[in-house]
Amino acid sequence: MSDLTMPERNNEGFLENAWDWNDRVAETIAEDDGLELTEKHWEIIRFLRTFYAEYEVSPPSNRLFVKAVKEALGEEKGNSIYLMQLFPGTPAKTACRIAGLPRPTNCL
């Protein structure tokens, strides 16, 4: 038995309830994507957690994810190449999944 009971997730791996999230949950979801979380990842994850607590919505699309990161952390981090390197695939989806946020509504 693992000491971590994974909270309920939907068929795409997103948490059913964003508040069931903790660091261990994030690490476990990241492992599914073959990702080991570094401080750079955590910076974005923490940003998304704060964003969600304030606005109760995931950035709805990849473009808006990049835009929101840019507003908060500057151009160096708020650009699609940087975020793509950290969160492969569709960065908004991958990052929100790991951060325990709902699926961005406009990402295919």
Residues that bind other proteins (CB under 8 A): 51, 54-57, 59-61, 63-64, 67-68, 71, 105-106
Residue 107 is a catalytic residue? yes
Two structure tokens written together for 83: 């975020």
19 — alpha (psi -120 to 50), left (phi > 0) or beta?
Answer: alpha
**Six token digits for residue 47:** 């940003």
CB 102 within 8 A of CB 18: yes
> Shortest distance, CB of residue 103 to other proteins, whole angstroms?
13
Exactly one of 70, 86, 107, 108 is catalytic; name it: 107
Q: Residue 72 Cβ, how far from other proteins at the closest point, in Å?
A: 8
The nearer residue to other proteins, 28 or 61, going by C-beta atoms, is 61
Active site residues: 107
